[in-house]
Amino acid sequence: MRAIFQPSSAPSASIAGTIFIHITVGVLGLGELGLTAALECVRQGYRVRGWSNTLKSVEGIETSAGLSALPDILGDSDILVCMLPQTPQTRGLLNAERLAQMKRGAVFINVSRGSIVDEPALIEALRSGHIAEATLDVFASEPLSPDSALWAMDNVLITPHLASVALPGSAAQQIGENVRRLRSGQELLSRVDPRRGY
């Protein structure tokens, strides 16, 4: 039912130790989770490009920022991973026009928020083959309607919005560390900034 991704422009992708330098992974959103994913792709040998609201300098990742830089990363990525936060600026960011800027035959992965993507435009791009495959963990409306065309598409993998599971041991360590920091007057880890929306 599912095909293995084999981009036409990436002739040498294979298993066990091969460097995937001919496959470009674009990561939209270089926050804590996006940066972790991007660095893991670098570690695996992929060429990685990252895009965020503000420019970051990260060793091994070609970074860019701002709306003017978005078309370039969309058109260059064989695999595009959306890890953006939901903010007024990101809502509807990946509309029909921007999805059309993606490299033909690319794979799209969304593990952030469904509202960032124009779902009808994504369905059309998947039907036409412009986007070869998609893995979707989030949707504009959740749970995904049983009537959604996405359920019947062979080139779509739907996951149950469980991209991350909080393990009690690690969660307790993070909470404990923040309690310690609070008591000692240090800045807390993983703070949400209401002005930024994430």
Give the angle subtended at the CA of 116 by the CAs of 113 and 121, to the nearest 5°.
120
Parallel, antiparallel, or unpaired: how do β-strands 61-65 and 47-52 relate? Answer: parallel
| CA nearest to 28, candidates 87, 11, 18 | 87
Catalytic residue among 98, 113, 180, 196: 113
Residue 32 CA, distance from chain mean position = 12
Give the Cα separation of 113 and 191 in Å (integer). 19
- Residue 183 is a catalytic residue: no
Catalytic annotation present for 161? yes
Helix then strand count (H, E) for the chain reads 5, 7
| 137 contact partners, CB below 8 Å, separation of at least 6 | 110, 111, 159, 160, 161, 162, 163
Q: Order across the sheet with 47-52: list the strands.
A: 61-65, 47-52, 24-28, 79-82, 106-110, 131-136, 156-158
From the candidates 49, 161, 181, 183, which is the catalytic residue? 161
Q: How is residue 166 annotated by DSSP? A: -
Catalogue the active-site residues: 113, 161
